Every structure is written in C-alpha cells, then in structure tokens.
A and B are shown apart, each in its own frame.
Chain A
C-alpha cells in the first residue's frame, strides 16, 4: 500500500514536470474530454476516465489535459470521449470502455491517427 505523500513530494513532482516541459518544444497540449452527465456516469464514464488517467500515469505521457464535461447530448453513445489535438478539430468517440480508451490514447492522442471504428460520425 502506498504511504501518504507530503506536499514536499508534490514539489518534486512539480519540478520534474517543469523539466520535461522545458525539454519539449511547445507544441501545444492535447485535450481529452469525457462526458460525465447522468447517462454517461450510469454507462461507465467514471471507469473510462480513470482508465485514461491510468494510461497517462503508466506510460508517463505529458502534454495531455484530461477534462470532464456535463451531458454531451448523445445519450445512446455514452460514455463519450472527445479528443482535440492542437490545432485540429474535435473528434468524438462513442461507447468507450477502458480498453477502447487505451487504443484511442495510443493511436490518436500519441499517434495522431483517428480510430475510425469508434468514431461517432454525425
């Protein structure tokens, strides 16, 4: 079991994060948004968001901002995940479970290639 970490530990995490930022070119951040309305939550959106955070942590991925939003308005597609690469249009994915989230992060967020089979085409 992990021990309770102090704010001093957090200061070290911050310094490391800043170092990594300096090493990278400022290419902008990718946004990953998860719909967290009632229907999304009931369909498993929290597990999807947790999976996304776990992938970022395990693979040590930088420059990704994870946000949640309220109801996206496409109930039958929940849980919905949206990806916005810097300077690109928003891409929406439907019925995203933990495994699909992993593929979306690997292929789209890191690789830049849309996962067509999960995409909601409106």
Chain B
C-alpha cells in the first residue's frame, strides 16, 4: 500500500470487523513541529493483552485465525521508517485506538493519498457505523460527522446517486479548502 489513506482504510476495516458502532478517524498535520499524526479510534469490543501483543507481529497474525489485522505490521513499519512511532491501545468491551505518527517531511513518509476516497468508501459502504472524521492542519480544522446526514436522509440509502454526490463533494471540498488555507498542496 502506497498511501496512508489506504492504511487508514485497512485499520478501519479491523474496527468494522470488531463490531464497532462508532469510528473516529483523526488526521493532524503540524507544519511547525513537522509531525503528522493519524488516529483510528473505535467504540467496539476491544482486545485483551494477549491478542494486542499478537496483532503487531507479522509472523503470528493470520492463517489459523481470521485474517483481521494483517495490515497492522505494515502500517507500523511505515511509521517507524519515517522517524515516527506506532501504538495500539485497547480495552476489552470498550474499544481500540490505533495511532501512528510520522516525521512529516521525512523522505520515506508515504503521501496521505486519497483521503476523501477512503472516507467515501467507509461511510457509504458501512451505513451502520457512525463515522466521525477530523482533519487538522496547524490550527485549522475540517470536521465531518455522518450522523446529521443520516438523520436528514431518514431511510434514503447512502448509495442514492444524489447522496453519493453530496458526500463526495462535501469531503473533497472540505479537505481541499483546509489544505488551501494552510498553503499545503492539495495532493501530497
């Protein structure tokens, strides 16, 4: 995977598989401290200490168990190879938070990629999950919460053509405007 947005998608898939009712995705770029932070936080069933220890080890995960968490070691490696770090915190019955931090300007730091595409996929593809997205660059923020949208739609599916357009345009515009206001190239 060559985009951080694809890693975000993969980690969020783990949260979906864990039966999460609410998933928050946070992206934070700080141009002054030169750090980029990504957090995927779910309200789900969580993991015990033993499972938690296993999921970051590429040689233990998979095969015998369900194929959940296969992408975690790759995401961890992506963070650690760009002067960053990676952490999973989990509590059985409460949920899991995955955080990855990068040196923003590091030569090996993967581009964020198509964040809007990842979010569109998650929001429309899993209508039962309450999705929250916040994207910060320095002191500016773009926030997206799909709950008010679902309340207005009141049963009209998220894959209605007009709704697809609405969600896509809202995400793209919000992300682009935030980047413009912080003078960050729209594709980076």
Task: Please say whether chains A and B are actual partners in one complex.
Answer: yes
**Per-position binary interface string of chain A over residues 25-53, scored 1 when its CB falls under 8 Å from any chain B CB and 0 otherwise:** 00001000010111101100011011001
Interchain CB contact under 8 A, B156 and A57: no
Given the complex, which residues of A lie within 8 Å of B148, measured CB to CB?
Answer: 7
**Interchain Cβ contacts within 8 Å, total number:** 113
Report B45 CB to chain A, min CB distance, Å.
Answer: 15
Given the complex, which residues of B lie within 8 Å of A10, measured CB to CB?
Answer: 149, 152-153, 163, 166
Interchain CB contact under 8 A, B166 and A9: yes
The stretch from A61-69, A81-89, A96-104, A112-120 touching chain B is A61-69
Interchain CB contact under 8 A, A70 and B124: no
Report A77 CB to chain B, min CB distance, Å.
Answer: 15
B-side binding surface: helix, strand, loop or mixed? helix
Whether a CB of chain B sits under 8 angstroms from the CB of A90 is: no
Report B140 CB to chain A, min CB distance, Å.
Answer: 15
CA–CA, A13 to B160, complex, Å? 9
Interchain CB contact under 8 A, B173 and A14: no
Report B135 CB to chain A, min CB distance, Å.
Answer: 14
Given the complex, which residues of B lie within 8 Å of A53, measured CB to CB?
Answer: 120, 124, 159, 164, 168
Interchain CB contact under 8 A, A17 and B152: no
Interchain CB contact under 8 A, B121 and A49: yes
Chain A: residues with Cβ within 8 Å of the partner, total of: 40
Given the complex, which residues of B lie within 8 Å of A41, measured CB to CB?
Answer: 1, 6, 9-10, 13, 71
Given A2-B173, A14-B154, A50-B120, also A42-B1 (CB < 8 A): yes
Which chain B residues numbered 124 to 176 have a C-beta less than 8 Å away from chain A?
A: 124-127, 148-149, 152-154, 156-157, 159-166, 168-170, 172-174, 176
Whether a CB of chain B sits under 8 angstroms from the CB of A3 is: yes
Q: Which 10 residue pairs are nearest across A and B when measured between Cβ atoms?
A: A68-B125, A13-B162, A2-B169, A38-B70, A66-B159, A38-B71, A17-B156, A57-B164, A17-B160, A57-B161
| Chain B residues near A (Cβ < 8 Å) | 1, 6, 9-10, 13, 16-17, 66-68, 70-71, 114, 117-118, 120-122, 124-127, 148-149, 152-154, 156-157, 159-166, 168-170, 172-174, 176-177
Give 26 CB contacts A-B under 8 Å.
A1-B176, A2-B172, A5-B166, A5-B170, A7-B149, A10-B152, A10-B166, A11-B152, A14-B156, A14-B163, A17-B156, A17-B162, A29-B157, A36-B125, A37-B70, A39-B67, A41-B13, A53-B164, A57-B165, A57-B168, A60-B161, A62-B160, A68-B122, A68-B125, A70-B16, A71-B66
